[in-house]
Every structure is written in C-alpha cells, then in structure tokens.
Chain A
Amino acid sequence: QSALTQPPSASGSPGQSVTISCTGTSSDVGGYNSVSWYQQKPGKAPKLMIYEVTKRPSGVPDRFSGSRSGNTASLTVSGLQAEDEADYYCSSFAGSSSWVFGGGTKLTVL
C-alpha cells in the first residue's frame, strides 16, 4: 500500500484555473469510484471537497470539480480566489478494507 502521488506545489493567479493531479494504480485510484479530495488550512482539520471522484458536498463552491482518467484523479479549482490557498490531499480506497492518501499539494494563489 503506497501513498498516492501528488505534485508538492501548484499555483495560479486570482481568476485562473488550477488542476492538481493524484496518481495511483489500478488497485486504488483506477479500480474504485472512491477518490476524495480534502482542503486543509493551517492549524485546521481537513475539509471534504470532493467525494466519489466527481461529487461535491453541499456547501462546497461549484468552482471545485473532480475527474479521473485511468489511474490519475484530478481536482480543478476554477476562478481561483485568495481563500483557496491551502494544502490539498487526495484519498482512495485501496482494497482489503484499507485507504490511502496522497502526499499533499500546497496551492498558492499568486
């Protein structure tokens, strides 16, 4: 069970779109519709932003969207705002009743 691979950093200017990738294998990201994304701001607990690859919980702005192609899932933030600056983590079911996270991506709004 290896951690999912995320880029350590991403950035964009206000109003732009940014996409963060999360690469796994056919035994996790590519094998189940169980990819979720979390936003974590300093000193706070992670907050669920996307679940089941593409679904958005109530209260999460529709600027946040999820997708997947093969073994790579992606989180896209459109119309970047200063408040979107945070760490983002992906997670996936990994079979055998286990779960795995990505290493995290620090999103900077320039």
Chain B
Amino acid sequence: QVQLQESGPRLVKPSETLSLTCTVSGGSISGYYWNWIRQPPGKGLEWIGFVYDRGTTSYNPALKSRVTISEDTSKNQFFLNLTSVTAADTAIYFCAKHKGTAFDPWGQGTLVTVSS
C-alpha cells in the first residue's frame, strides 16, 4: 500500500522560504494527484495545492503568489516551496494522495515553526 513521509527543516526564519519533501513508497507517483495540506496548531485544515502528471499544478488562491509544488518522478518525491513566510505559516504540513475525489492516504505530518 502507498505510504507518504514528509521531511524538511522544522524551523524557518521569517521572510525565508519553507521547503518540504514528500517521499512516496509502495507505488509510483506518476499519473496521480499529490497534495499539500496544512494545519496551524489547534486549528483546522487548509488545502495548499497539488501537482499532477509531470508538473500540472493548482494552488489555493490565498497562497498562490507564494507557493510552488513540483515533483521528481525519478525519486518518487514531490515538493513544497512556500516563500516569504511569517508566523502565520507555522503549521503541521501534511502530504496526501488524491483517491478519486478525496485525500487518502496522508503522511504523518511535520510541524514547521516560523521563528527567528
């Protein structure tokens, strides 16, 4: 079965770029939609965006100017870059696969803190 694992720096300074990697095992990433979703501590879920099929992307309009999602099919990984971060970007970041019209499965999530 497909499993996802997030990795990347846990602490990012304000105004810098948050960069995360999602490594997929148990199946190829080719031909599927792969998403990033975040959850500020104690708050709800927010869809960030997805990458599909060699680079087709879609982003949350509220984050679109700062987000880039990409993939490397040779490594079975996809990536999140979020620029010009502030404390409001502190959150647990999840990667997830699209299963039809839903998100399943999810990675375990990684907490990224924005602080100097």
Residues of A within 8 A of B (CB): 1, 3, 32-34, 36, 38, 44-48, 51-52, 57, 89, 91, 93, 96-104
Contacts and interface: CB of A to CB of B under 8 A. Distances in A.
Given A33-B101, A98-B61, A45 B47 contact: no
A89 B58 CA distance: 22
Instruction: Give the dominant DSSP class at A's interface.
Output: loop
Contact of B61 (A1, A44, A45, A57): A1
Among A3, A36, A44, A102, chain B packs the most CB atoms within 10 A around the CB of A36
B108 A45 contact: yes
Given A48-B102, A52-B102, 16 more contacts: A3-B44, A36-B102, A38-B103, A45-B106, A46-B103, A46-B106, A51-B102, A52-B101, A89-B44, A89-B45, A91-B102, A91-B103, A98-B61, A99-B35, A101-B45, A101-B47
Contacts of B50: 97
Interface of B: 35, 37, 44-47, 50, 58-62, 94, 99-109
A33 B50 CA distance: 20
A45 B44 contact: no
Nearest to B57: A97
Contact of A1 (B35, B60, B107): B60
